[in-house]
Amino acid sequence: MKSRGQKALINTAVLGIYQAVYFVCGLILPRYLLLHFGSDYNGVVSSVNQFLSFITILQVGIAGSTRFALYRVLADNDIKGVSGIIRATEKYMRKVGLVLLAYIGILSFIYPYISSTSIPAFEAGLLVVIVGASSFSQYFFGITYQILLTADQRQYVYHIIATVATVLNTVIAVILMKNGQNIFIVKLGSAIIYVLVPIVLSLYVRRKYKIDRSVPVDKTGLKGRWDVMWHSVANIVHNNTDLVVLTVLTDIKMVSVYTVYHLVINGLYKILSIFTSSLEAAFGNMFAKKETKTAYRNLEMYEFFMCCFVSVVFSVSLVLIVPFVKLYTSNVTDVNYIEPVFAAVAVIAQMVMCIRQPYLTVVQASGHYKQTKNGALAEAGVNIVLSVILTWRIGLVGVAVGTLVANLFRTVQYAVYLSKNVVNRPLHKPVLMMLWTAANVLVVWFVSKPLMALITIDSWMNWVLAGGICCAVAVLVTLLTSLVCCRKKLWFLLGIIKKLFVKLKH
């Protein structure tokens, strides 16, 4: 049987492949959409996806509470317990599926009238239905089994299936566009591909876990769903506020601008998830076995790793994101994509969100959903109010400022709650780590900016060269400051990584 560390390493490796494929495909498809259909259609597709994601409020609450309930029965190898919880979750998800279908139908009628687009109402409504079918199959047909695999640290199974589907979707979509097919045929092809993912996933889970259908339904995983759901509501509202506000208050082309920048920004977060996606399950296992000291020690390493990641990756992105967008949108002339102020604020907002990831992971793994739901709701409220007011006055930059302020609020709130109520550690520890990270980013930015001025970034080759120089500066600065300020953590983290690789070989 594989240890927690071995499972985490396998998940990390497979997820790394998936995220690399997803990121590359995520750059290819929007570029083709922009060139073949223009910013209007790209904006509508992105906007519709955001509107549809609101319905995941109904499943994320279940995902979190079911995952927490499964930690215990999986730790005890209780197959009957697993079966009962999974049966209850499946039953609930079937009801959610019916709600989603109704939501797609309603949205297809109202969307053309709440968005400022030149696309005919019928076409916009049809896109809602087609994109909604894809979302329906992705999020709900196999969501119960995804929850089970995540709780058991076997996300790699889902990611292998998803990697194949992502490649197939990209290849088929590009072929269809090159052959002159319209956007409806292209998106219908995507929907068909993603219907296959949950079918394959269910076949694996049924064979691996031998779910006993005769076991009575166990609603343990549903009991905490309301507390988790408040977090889900807050998270989904917070994460989707920007595009909804832009859809309603600005031209749909601004949505396209926003999504192009977030191809990079969200890509950075997905790179981060390569290393962190399996950690909640690992921490959940520690708390289930009452290994509090182990959890504390691993939190310290997780926090340090996260700050190193942010110091390197986000400092580089601050310097290179605008040149990237300039190259990516060359030959696209229906709207101005060069927005340096928006780019900087959006990158910093995502940086703050990443810094809070260790605190969020451990709080959720310990099951403290009820105690922290008010902070989650406050974050969403701050984001909505500020984004609406600021977008009305200053446009695109307004949504980025609203998100940044909201992220700062909740990051501090989670750091304080975690230190006082979960791991009992001094408050100055997270504060010092945040200040250290901010100092690293500023130093890298000030050092890299003059160097970038020496390179004319007018081709992808020069952009890669500039990126290599900037990365080298960021790694050097972070390493030097780690040796000065966090030497013990640096050596300890390197030791953990070495042990994981040794275990994996055996």
Question: What SS3 string covers 8-42?
Answer: HHHHHHHHHHHHHHHHHHHHHHHHHHHHHHCHHHH
Does residue 368 sit in the same domain as residue 489? Answer: yes
Q: pLDDT-based confidence at 477, cuts 50/70/90?
A: very high
Does residue 234 sit in the same domain as residue 191? Answer: no
Q: Is the pLDDT of residue 92 over 60?
A: yes
Task: Give me the residues paired with residue 251 across strands.
Answer: 116
Does residue 304 sit in the same domain as residue 350? Answer: yes
Task: Give me the residues paired with residue 116 across strands.
Answer: 251
Listed ranges 197-211, 353-367, 388-402; the one with the highest mean pLDDT:
388-402
Does residue 209 sit in the same domain as residue 243? Answer: no
Does residue 127 sit in the same domain as residue 153? Answer: yes
Does residue 149 sit in the same domain as residue 246? Answer: no
Does residue 208 sit in the same domain as residue 310? Answer: no
Does residue 217 sit in the same domain as residue 253? Answer: no
What's the rounded mean pLDDT across residues 418-447? Answer: 88
Burial letters 87-107, b for 16+ CB under 10 A, else e: bbbeebbeebbeebeebbeeb
Q: Is the pLDDT of residue 241 over 70?
A: yes
Residues 105-152: tens digit of each pLDDT: 888 888 888 776 777 888 888 888 888 877 676 666 677 888 888 877
pLDDT at 167: 94
Does residue 468 sit in the same domain as residue 482? Answer: yes
| CB-CB contact of 252 with 47 (8 Å) | yes
Does residue 193 sit in the same domain as residue 261? Answer: no
Long-range pairs of 11-15 with CB within 8 A, sequence gap ≥ 24: 11/153, 11/154, 11/155, 11/156, 11/159, 11/277, 11/278, 12/274, 12/275, 12/277, 12/278, 13/156, 14/155, 14/156, 14/159, 14/160, 15/155, 15/156, 15/159, 15/273, 15/274, 15/277, 15/278
**Residue in the block written with tokens 């549903």:** 222
The better pLDDT of the pair 57, 447 is held by: 447
* Domain boundary pick from 169, 200, 223: 223
The better pLDDT of the pair 281, 399 is held by: 399
Q: How many domains does the chain have?
A: 2
| CB-CB contact of 275 with 12 (8 Å) | yes
Does residue 180 sit in the same domain as residue 96? Answer: yes
* Domain boundary pick from 178, 204, 223: 223
What's the rounded mean pLDDT across residues 203-220? Answer: 76
- Domain, as residue range, for 288: 226-506
Q: How far from the centroid of its chain's Cα atoms is residue 241's Cα? A: 15
Report the chain's terminal Cα–Cα distance, integer Å.
12
Q: Is the pLDDT of residue 2 over 80?
A: no
Write the CA distances from 374 to 235, 367, 441, integer angstroms.
12, 15, 31
Does residue 70 sit in the same domain as residue 82? Answer: yes
The total of other beta-carbon atoms located within 10 Å of residue 327's CB is: 14
pLDDT at 351: 92
* Domain boundary pick from 153, 188, 223: 223
